[in-house]
Structure 1
């Protein structure tokens, strides 16, 4: 069978089945948005944002939970445990000082730590096709970033409490199962909040639920198998790069997490905007293909008086 005929048969099959049509739509949208590049940017800026944010997080924990040092240690270990293998090698100490010096230290660390969140904002606006002229300005983007950091911080504490309940050896298996379920629910809520706060697109909460569920489950799976992945990255790099192997492992983990998150976000967009079925044959685009391409073009509007229009020459294409 000729390759063209085989491709056309595969195309007809995937279009006629919702599951495969949505899957193809998600991966084509992922490629159209160059989400892999955005994931790399999130990992890069996230790497430099991680340590200032951990510094602020540990400092604020010490301020609010000074009388509960054991719980504070559990929260910190839970956060570091989200980075398989390399989390054991990270050491974070709180900021020292009092009064104005401490406030300035926290503010400076926060300022240096929101780069990763802003990279995620840019990626999520791209995923939703938000025109550049309507994206948040310098101040608004940072306010939204700080709000998201607060939500994530509270969610991490709640998730730690649930994880502690799940791992308690004195409880029976029903308590452990309940703890795991609560932890998954909290992670799903964190994904839901992140998907909503990272974009200025007008999206209802219900349209974000599919991606949040996928993100929560995929995150749990990554956490379970992440040790092997990062360990594999480090095993080949430790002999060559020495201490830099931890940097490679951390960047690899952040990149993988960013890709999974953006893929989950693409599921939301494809379902909400009905960007499926997509065509596997280049010269036979569907209405979903045209809608996706139109969204990409209109996203480049940069000035309030700029209006991008897209027209498809169907007659010429047919001929």
Structure 2
């Protein structure tokens, strides 16, 4: 007479289904406890979904690559040689270009000096500048989504797009000496870069939002964005030269384009996360009181017109 040996419990489907049900219940319970104790997690998750971080960051990176980058070449073709050399130094510092990649950038600027100036002219240069405002508009849409500014009824003066591009170009021009710590090295470059980025993104949010949000509530987003951008800039000093040189060797200039675009997407994701997280934190009761934030300044009525602001 033979007896069947009982199969271990771990081999039974019913045992696994019971374990999965238990794990699922534990995960839900942990999520509910987290939402109860830390409601900011729920608010942040909801805001991230509404902003659509990856989509917004990808669009912003595409606008930077398609409109802002050509503007740099146009400016380089019209600018004096000293300004052009400073621009090459700053772009090389931002993207970490060294060796062959930096030589390629210098060759591009030399070759486009006279040819591009003759091809575009003053009118063409102005049109390139105006098209570069697409980058400003993309950044403005990101800020408005992060701060839940209603689409209808809130008008922000278009001159702010040009002002943002102008300041962005001015900051870009000095990135060469800033990233070098003005000759003192990385221990000066890091705090100076951090401070400049915090101030830049603090002002950028206020400008592109048309003053709809006060200065103090914008500070958390500026701090987070400045820290994230500075960390990426430091990391790019070690990663980007190898990645660009490898792409240039294996795929030529096309590979360099994809590497730079990928870096821009990562940078824009960091910016989107910093601005959105800062907007959520600034509205939390425990921080809003300290920042003196009394709530949004766009009281949208039934007609869709905001009250108490001119949007200029």
TM-score of the superposed pair, with normalisation by structure 2: 0.70
**Structure 2: stretches of 5+ with no match in the other structure:** 1-21, 287-295, 306-312
For 1:219, which of 202, 226, 229 is the aligned residue? Answer: 229
Structure 1 CA distance for aligned equivalents of residues 248 and 77 of structure 2: 33
Flag the structure with larger Rg.
Answer: 2
In the TM superposition, residue 253 of structure 1 has moved relative to its aligned partner by 1.3
In the TM superposition, residue 12 of structure 1 has moved relative to its aligned partner by 1.1
Q: Do the aligned residues in 2 keep the contact of 1:30 with 1:266 (CA within 8 Å)?
A: yes
Residue 48 (str. 1) matches residue 66 (str. 2): yes
For 1:109, which of 125, 128, 133 is the aligned residue? Answer: 128
Q: Do the aligned residues in 2 keep the contact of 1:125 with 1:201 (CA within 8 Å)?
A: no
Runs of 4+ residues over 6 Å off in structure 1: none
**Structure 1: stretches of 5+ with no match in the other structure:** 277-294, 308-319
In the TM superposition, residue 156 of structure 1 has moved relative to its aligned partner by 2.6
For 2:267, which of 242, 253, 257 is the aligned residue? Answer: 257
Cα gap change, 1:158 to 1:190, in 2 (>3 Å): same
Which residue number in structure 2 is paired with residue 206 of structure 1? 216
Size of the aligned set, in residue pairs, is: 265
In the TM superposition, residue 259 of structure 1 has moved relative to its aligned partner by 0.9
In the TM superposition, residue 231 of structure 1 has moved relative to its aligned partner by 5.4
Q: Do the aligned residues in 1 keep the contact of 2:61 with 2:265 (CA within 8 Å)?
A: yes
Write out per-residue CA displacement over residues 266-316 of structure 1, whole angstroms, 9 at most, x where no aligned residue.
12210222299xxxxxxxxxxxxxxxxxx9xx9xx9x98359xxxxxxxxx
SS at match of 1:37: helix
For 1:29, which of 39, 47, 50 is the aligned residue? Answer: 47
TM-score of the superposed pair, with normalisation by structure 1: 0.68
**Bigger relative contact order, structure 1 or 2 (CA pairs below 8 A, ≥6 apart):** 1
In the TM superposition, residue 149 of structure 1 has moved relative to its aligned partner by 1.1
Cα gap change, 1:74 to 1:81, in 2 (>3 Å): same
Q: Do the aligned residues in 1 keep the contact of 2:44 with 2:277 (CA within 8 Å)?
A: yes
Q: Do the aligned residues in 1 keep the contact of 2:94 with 2:175 (CA within 8 Å)?
A: no
Q: CA RMSD in A?
A: 3.8
